[in-house]
């Protein structure tokens, strides 16, 4: 299988390299396109009016890995429109991650990792986003989970992008696998003011709030120790909301 791997943590990310080398050990042909610098929170942004440059070229045991001045969604586009054309190949699967923090609940909106998988779906390709808790030092178990299940996961990802979250990288601490709905998460967001080189700058900081969530939500299930799989959609339509709008359309003012 020909696999394109992207992320939002940047080309120097340890779990990115572990995922690439792990997929290679499973016999796959792997290519890596990642941001030159961390792009966490970039969501589905793409670069329209700035030229993208390849800053870093690596060879990881035969794997071509490049660091580009771009967003995660850009990485997928570069993979399809530059790497694939240069190598005269067609990718079978796009893996995004492994992110070094979970991407669950409302965080999915902001996640560059998840957007990498969703951008693959925009192109009509199978895309899977992978995220794990931040206390992982060794990502061999998430890599093994993907490697052992890759055909089954790919068959599903051909229908819709998938987000997978790991509650731990230690298999002894994992209770099992659950299919999860997207939950809700918010943070005690605040901007901390600092002075750097004589200039005032603001950094966003905050802690995860304890909010009520359904028992089958990714937030709850991840906290309980389950690997969560969530099917995502590119369609943002709220169909029940459209039905409500339909009730007021006759009353809308028109010139």
Contact call for residues 7 and 13 (beta carbons, < 8 A): yes
Q: What pLDDT is recorded for position 137? A: 87
Q: What is the pLDDT of residue 146?
A: 98
pLDDT at 135 over 90: no
What's the confidence (pLDDT) of residue 255? 87
Average pLDDT over residues 32-56: 95
Q: What is the pLDDT of residue 162?
A: 98
pLDDT at 175 over 90: yes
Confidence of residue 192 (pLDDT cuts 50, 70, 90): very high
- Whole-number percent of the chain with pLDDT over 90: 94
* pTM for the whole structure: 0.95
pLDDT for residue 54: 96
pLDDT band at 140 (very low <50, low <70, confident <90, very high): very high
Q: What is the pLDDT of residue 145?
A: 98
Decide if pLDDT at 134 tops 90: no
pLDDT tier at 208 (50, 70, 90 boundaries)? confident
Tell me the mean pLDDT in the region 138-152. Answer: 97
CA atoms of 249 and 247, how far apart (whole Å) = 6
């Amino acid at each position: 299988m020909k696999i394109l791997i992207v992320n939002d943590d940047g080309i120097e990310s340890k779990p990115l390299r572990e995922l690439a080398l792990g997929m290679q050990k499973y016999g796959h042909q792997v290519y890596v396109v990642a941001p030159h610098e961390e792009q966490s929170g970039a969501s589905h942004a793409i670069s329209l009016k700035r030229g993208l440059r390849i800053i870093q070229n690596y060879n990881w045991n035969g794997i071509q890995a490049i660091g580009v001045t771009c967003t995660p969604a850009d990485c997928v586009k570069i993979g399809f429109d530059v790497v694939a054309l240069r190598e005269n190949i067609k990718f079978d699967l796009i893996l995004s991650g492994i992110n070094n923090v979970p991407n669950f609940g409302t965080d999915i909106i902001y996640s560059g990792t998840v957007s990498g998988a969703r951008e693959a779906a925009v192109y009509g390709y199978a895309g899977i986003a992978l995220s794990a808790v931040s206390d992982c030092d060794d990502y061999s178990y998430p890599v093994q989970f993907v490697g052992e299940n890759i055909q089954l996961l790919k068959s599903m990802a051909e229908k819709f992008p998938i987000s997978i979250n790991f509650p731990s990288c230690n298999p002894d601490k994992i209770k099992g696998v659950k299919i999860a709905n997207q939950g809700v998460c918010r943070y005690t967001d605040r901007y901390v003011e600092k002075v750097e080189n004589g200039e005032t700058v603001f950094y966003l900081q905050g802690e995860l709030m304890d909010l009520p969530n359904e028992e089958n939500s990714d937030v709850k299930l991840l906290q309980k120790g389950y690997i969560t799989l969530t099917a995502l959609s590119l369609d943002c339509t709220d169909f029940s909301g459209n039905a409500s709008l339909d009730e007021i359309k006759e009353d809308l003012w028109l010139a």
